[in-house]
Amino acid sequence: MAEGIDSFIPDDDSGRQALRVQGKRHGEIRAKNDYPTYIYRDRRQIEQQAATAFQENIASKRQVNEQQLRQLQQKSDRDWKEIHKRDSHTWTWGYHSTWQQVKAEKIGEVQHPLNKWYSHVSEARQQFVTAYVTAYLEYTQPR
C-alpha cells in the first residue's frame, strides 16, 4: 500500500525528522543531477525548486489519504451495515455499536491525519524546504 501523510505530520519529532530526511534526499538528488553544469547559486531559486518538490512529493502522499477518505465516504448505508455485521467484534464500539458509529469511526480514522496535516502544512513545508536547500548547497559548494 502506498504511504500516506501520517508519518510526515510535523506535530512531533518523528514527523519533523521524516520531512527533513525527505527534503535532504530530494535536495541531494537534484544537486547531483544539476552538478556541475546546471547548478543554481541563488538561494531563492533553490527554495523555489524545493517548494515545487515539496508539493509534488507530499501531494502524492496526501492523495493516498484523500483517496481512502473518498472511498469510505462513497460507501452506501447498506455497505456500512454489512461491514458492521461482519466486523462488529473488532471495533472499538464493541458488539453494541451501530453501523453509524462504525462509519463515523472509520471515516474519522482517515480524516484525522488529513485535518492535522492541513493545520501543520506551513511548518511541514518549512522543514522540507530548509533541508532541501541545505543539502543542495552543501553538495554544490566549491570543493
Cell of 80: 456500512
pLDDT tens for residues 4-21?
A: 888 899 999 999 999 999
Residue 120 has pLDDT above 70, yes or no: yes
Q: How many CB atoms neighbour CB 61 within 10 A?
A: 18
Pair 45, 27: CB distance under 8 Å: no
pLDDT of residue 89: 66
pLDDT tens for residues 35-49?
A: 887 777 788 999 999
pLDDT of residue 1: 47
pLDDT of residue 94: 58
Residue 99: partners with Cβ closer than 8 Å, 6 or more residues away: 77, 80, 81, 83, 84, 85
Q: Helix/strand/coil (H, E, C) string of 99-139?
A: HHHHHHHHHHHHHHHHHHHHHHHHHHHHHHHHHHHHHHHHH
Round to whole Å and give the CA distance between 65 and 27: 25
pLDDT tens for residues 57-106?
A: 887 888 999 999 999 999 999 999 888 888 766 655 555 678 898 899 88
Round to whole Å and give the CA distance between 58 and 31: 20
Is the model more confident about 87 or about 110?
110
Residue 33: partners with Cβ closer than 8 Å, 6 or more residues away: none
pLDDT of residue 129: 97
